Amino acid sequence: MLIASWNINGIKARIDGLTAWLQERNPDIACLQEIKSQDETFPKKVIEDLGYHVETHGQKGFNGVALLSKEKPESVRRGLPGDESDEQARYIEGLWQTDSGPLRVASIYLPNGNPLGTAKFEYKLAWMDRLERHAEALLAHEERLILAGDYNVIPQPKDVHDPAAWLNDALFQPESRGNLRRLVHLGFADALRMTDDRAELYTFWDYQAGAWQKNNGIRIDHLLLSPEAQIVLRSVGIDKQVRSWEKPSDHVPILAELGG
């Protein structure tokens, strides 16, 4: 089973690239972030015509997450619990029943948090606290669980081309990185780092200053696996070539193959 995550950076602008990638890679479940579309205007039909079921949690103009899957999920949760006043569409979670038992996958678009010293950074940290509480509750189900998405956190210096350039950015702050470590220490594992410990494995290149051409990237898109998912992990890959396609997102897909 192939599970993927991709911050698409606007579904309407990237629909041709998305459909081409879906046909090429044929993932069983694809988690999208930053769809920037309301549910009713999401281009479902073109994706459904490729054999996918579509679940969205969107809002107009920004944010928004989606789950594309070969099989319809048994249930879907929209929104991260813990703050009923939070109207930002950043979390969607599906549960599938498979021949190997239940599989739960969440698509996550964690807040950016910039600029530092503002309510945006406080919101980021509070959102991560809520995610930690919810993830801990999900672990109690002892299911194959994948928390997939754009975390907007650079875990380690080797996950960024130029660490010094990010010292004053919310993505690389000790608080952001510490919150991610706490989440992992609940019992999750960073899927990529289970299989490859090399530096310069990036998932994002800015549109500015020739970042892609210079390989001036960062790794902020992660697949966190529960213990039950870890034991069936076969491989992890980053589809770096997608960044060179016409009208690309500034992120690229990351994928995990599960057996069992």
Residues making up the binding site for Mg(2+): 7, 34, 150, 152, 250-251
Contact 66, 89 (CB under 8 A): no
DSSP code of 183?
H
* Residue 42 CB-half CA count within 13 A: 27
Catalytic positions are 109, 150, 251
CA distances in angstroms from 106 to 125, 144, 178, 187, listed in the order given: 19, 11, 21, 16
Question: Which residues are annotated binding-site positions?
Answer: 7, 34, 150, 152, 250-251
Residue among 125, 138, 129, 123 nearest 229 (CA): 138
Residue 180, φ and ψ in degrees, nearest 5: -65, -40
